[in-house]
Amino acid sequence: MQHRLIEPDPQVFVLIFEPGDDPIAVLAEFAKEHAITGASLSGIGAFSQAMLGYFDVTRESYIDIPITEQVEVLSFSGDIAMNGDQPMVHIHTTVGFRDGSMKGGHLQFARVRPTLEVVLTETRATLRRSFDPASGLALIDLDRTTFEDETEIQDASD
C-alpha cells in the first residue's frame, strides 16, 4: 500500500491499496504504525473477493455474505477506534456487480483488485470502544473518548 500525508493537523492521508491487499488488516497495521487512535474512512475501488456481514440482532452475530467475483466498491465508509490497546477498523461497504445489482454490509475481509483508494481523516480525539451487552458489539463509547489536552467532549445537548 502506498500512502501520502496531505494535511498535517489533523492528519489526512490518502492510501492507495495494491492488488491482493486485505483493507481491514492493512488499515489496522497502518493505524498502529502511525499511532492513529481515532479516524474516519471513505473510499472507492474494487475487490476480487470479499466477505460482508449482516448483523442479526436476535442472534447477536453476523450472517456471512460471500462475494466470490470481481466487484466495484461503490461505497466504503467507517472508522478506526481503540479496542483495548489495539486500533479496530470498522467498515461498511456496498459493492456493485456486472449486472448493476448490489450487496452491502459490514466488511469482514476483502482482496483488493485492481485498487482501492481511501481517505483517512484522523480525529483530534482518541475514540475508544466498549462492549455493549445489549447489542453484543464493541461500540464507540463517548464517555471513554479523550482528547490529548484532556478537555471534555462537548455534548450537543448542552
Each residue's pLDDT, cut to its tens digit, for the chain (158 residues) gives 999 999 999 999 999 999 999 999 999 999 999 999 999 999 999 999 999 999 999 998 999 999 999 999 999 999 999 999 999 999 999 999 999 999 999 999 999 999 999 999 999 999 999 999 988 899 989 888 888 655 544 554 44
State the Cα–Cα distance between residues 129 and 30, nearest whole angstrom: 19
Rg value, the chain, Cα: 16
| Beta carbons within 10 angstroms of residue 55's beta carbon | 14
